[in-house]
C-alpha cells in the first residue's frame, strides 16, 4: 500500500492503517513534544494525546497541506496547551503554598535537558523555554526539526516573512540571554 | 548557576583553566542533535485504550456541563428577580412617584388641570 493510500485509509477510520500512521509519526511527535515538555512521562502522554486528537479530528483534515504539516500543527497546539497547564499549575502551587511553595520547573528540569547530552544544548534549551511561544515554536520547527520556513508558516498559519522575523527575534533573544556562555 | 555548571563540566582542562567557550552556532549545533525516541512496543495499545475510553468519557463529561448551565441559569434568574423586586420597592416608596400619582388622580376635579377641557361649557 503506498503512503497516500494508507494515510487516507487511516483518516477514513481504518484501525490497521491508523496503527501504521502511529508507528510512522510517533518519532516526529515525540521529538517535537520533547522540546517543550518538562517531564519524560508527560512527553509520552502528550504524544498519546496527539494521536488521540488526530483520530478524533481525522474528518477535519482536508488534504490542503501535507499530513505531516497537519500533525505538526496538532503537536504544537498540544505542546502549547501543556505549557499553559504547567504555568497554571505553578501559579496555583505558589498560591496554595505561599512564597515557600514548590519551585517552578527550571530549564534544568525539561525533558530535552535530560535527553540532550551536551551542556551547551541544555543551555540553549533552558533559554528557549523563556522565549515567547511563537518564537520558540518557529525556532524548534526550523532549527531542530529541519522544516523550511514555508512549512513552518503552514504549521503556524502565518506568512513566511512572519516566520522569518520570529526566527531572527528568537536568535537575537537567545544571543542576549546566553551572552556569557559563548565566544564571539 | 548555569555558568558554574558549564565551567565545572568534564570538558574543563585538567590544569584548572576554564574550557574555551563555544561559539553561538556551536551551541545551536549541540542543541540540534536529535533526541533519542525510546522504543515502546505497547504505545499503540495505550492510544487505542484511550480511544475506546474517550467516547464514554465524553458522555460523562456532559453531566458537569449541564449542571454548570443549570446553575448559571438559576443564578441569572435569581439576580433578575432581585432586580425586579428592588425596583418595585424602590419606586413605590419614592415620594416623587407618590406625589405624581396624587397629581394625576382624575377623580379629584379641583386639582385636575384638564377639567376645563372635559367641560368646556361650564365657563
Per-residue pLDDT tens digits for A143-177: 999 999 999 999 999 999 999 999 999 999 999 99
More confident residue, B15 or A182: A182
Percent composition of chain A: helix, strand, coil (DSSP 3-state, to 5):
75, 0, 25
pLDDT in tens, A30-84: 999 999 886 777 889 999 999 999 999 999 998 888 999 999 999 999 998 988 8
Nearest to A58 by CA among A107, A88, A22, A91: A22
What is the C-alpha to C-alpha distance for residues A146 and A161, in angstroms, rounded to an integer? 17
Joined grid coordinates for residue B23: 561559539
Q: Which residue of B has its CA nearest to A184?
A: B23
Q: What is the pLDDT of residue A27?
A: 95
Nearest to B31 by CA among A9, A113, A168: A113
Instruction: Please state, rounded to an integer, the average pLDDT across all residues of chain A.
Output: 84
Q: What is the pLDDT of residue A162?
A: 97
Binned at pLDDT 50, 70 and 90, residue A119 comes out as: confident
Give the pLDDT mean for A95-115: 50
Q: What is the pLDDT of residue A83?
A: 85
Please give the distance of CA A175 from its chain centroid, rounded to a whole number: 21
Residues of chain B below pLDDT 70: 1-19, 54-64, 91-123
Which residues of A fall within a CB distance of 8 Å from B36?
A: 115
pTM: 0.65
* A117 to B33: CB separation less than 8 angstroms, yes or no: yes
| DSSP per-residue codes, A27-73 | HHHHHHHHTT-SSHHHHHHHHHHHHHHHHHTGGG--SSS-HHHHHHH
Q: What is the pLDDT of residue A112?
A: 56
Please give the distance of CA A131 from its chain centroid, rounded to a whole number: 13
Nearest to A32 by CA among A123, A138, A124: A138
More confident residue, A123 or B122: A123
What is the C-alpha to C-alpha distance for residues A37 and A106, in angstroms, rounded to an integer? 12
What is the C-alpha to C-alpha distance for residues A127 and A34, in angstroms, rounded to an integer? 15
Q: What is the pLDDT of residue B9?
A: 46
Q: What is the pLDDT of residue A32?
A: 94
What is the C-alpha to C-alpha distance for residues A97 and A32, in angstroms, rounded to an integer? 32
Q: What is the pLDDT of residue A106?
A: 47
What is the C-alpha to C-alpha distance for residues A23 and A46, in angstroms, rounded to an integer? 15
**Residue A96 pLDDT greater than 50, yes or no:** yes
**Residue A100 pLDDT greater than 60, yes or no:** no
Beta-carbon contacts of A118 under 8 Å, excluding residues fewer than 6 positions away, are: B30, B31, B33
Which residues of B fall within a CB distance of 8 Å from A34?
A: 35
Beta-carbon contacts of A130 under 8 Å, excluding residues fewer than 6 positions away, are: A107, A177
- Shortest distance between the Cα of A123 and any Cα of chain B, in A, equals 7
Q: What is the pLDDT of residue A19?
A: 93
Q: What is the pLDDT of residue A135?
A: 95
Q: Which of A22, A117, A183 sits opposite B43 (nearest CB)?
A: A22
- Shortest distance between the Cα of A184 and any Cα of chain B, in A, equals 6
Among residues of chain A, what percentage have pLDDT more than 90?
54
Q: What is the pLDDT of residue B33?
A: 87
- Shortest distance between the Cα of A122 and any Cα of chain B, in A, equals 7
* B44 to A126: CB separation less than 8 angstroms, yes or no: no
Q: What is the pLDDT of residue B88?
A: 76
Q: What is the pLDDT of residue A97?
A: 59
* DSSP H/E element including B82: helix B43-93
List Cα–Cα distances, A100 to A58, A89, A103, B87, B101, in angstroms. Answer: 46, 15, 8, 50, 66
Terminal-residue alpha carbon distance, chain A: 52
More confident residue, A28 or B56: A28
**Residue A13 pLDDT greater than 70, yes or no:** yes
* A22 to B47: CB separation less than 8 angstroms, yes or no: yes
What is the C-alpha to C-alpha distance for residues B43 and B24, in angstroms, rounded to an integer? 37
Amino acid at each position: 500500500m503506498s503512503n497516500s493510500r494508507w494515510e487516507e485509509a487511516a483518516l477514513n477510520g481504518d484501525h490497521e492503517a491508523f496503527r501504521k500512521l502511529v508507528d510512522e509519526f510517533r518519532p516526529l511527535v515525540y521529538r517535537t513534544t520533547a522540546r517543550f515538555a518538562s517531564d519524560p512521562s508527560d512527553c509520552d502522554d502528550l504524544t498519546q494525546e496527539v494521536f488521540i486528537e488526530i483520530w478524533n479530528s481525522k474528518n477535519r483534515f482536508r488534504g490542503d497541506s501535507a499530513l505531516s504539516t497537519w500533525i505538526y500543527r496538532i503537536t504544537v497546539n498540544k505542546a502549547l496547551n501543556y505549557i499553559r497547564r504547567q504555568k497554571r499549575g505553578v501559579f496555583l502551587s505558589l498560591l496554595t503554598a505561599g512564597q515557600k511553595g514548590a519551585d517552578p520547573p527550571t530549564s534544568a528540569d525539561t525533558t530535552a535537558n535530560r535527553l540532550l547530552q551536551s551542556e551547551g544544548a541544555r543551555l540553549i534549551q533552558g533559554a528557549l523555554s523563556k522565549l515567547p511561544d511563537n518564537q520558540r515554536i518557529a525556532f524548534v520547527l526550523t532549527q531542530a526539526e529541519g522544516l523550511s520556513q514555508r512549512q513552518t508558516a503552514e504549521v503556524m498559519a502565518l506568512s513566511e516573512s512572519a516566520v522569518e522575523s520570529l526566527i531572527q527575534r528568537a536568535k537575537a533573544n537567545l544571543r542576549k540571554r546566553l551572552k556569557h556562555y559563548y565566544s564571539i | 548557576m548555569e555558568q558554574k555548571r558549564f565551567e565545572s563540566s568534564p570538558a574543563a582542562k585538567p590544569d584548572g583553566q576554564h574550557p574555551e567557550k563555544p561559539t553561538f552556532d556551536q551551541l545551536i549545533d549541540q542543541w540540534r542533535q536529535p533526541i533519542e525516541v525510546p522504543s515502546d512496543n505497547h504505545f499503540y495499545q495505550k492510544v487505542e485504550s484511550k480511544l475506546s475510553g474517550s467516547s464514554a468519557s465524553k458522555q460523562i463529561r456532559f453531566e458537569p456541563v449541564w449542571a454548570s448551565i443549570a446553575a448559571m441559569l438559576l443564578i441569572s434568574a435569581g439576580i433578575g428577580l432581585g432586580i425586579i423586586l428592588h425596583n418595585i420597592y424602590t419606586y413605590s416608596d419614592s415620594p416623587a412617584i407618590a406625589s405624581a400619582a396624587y397629581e394625576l388622580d382624575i377623580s379629584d376635579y379641583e386639582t385636575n388641570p384638564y377639567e376645563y377641557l372635559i367641560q368646556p361649557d361650564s365657563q
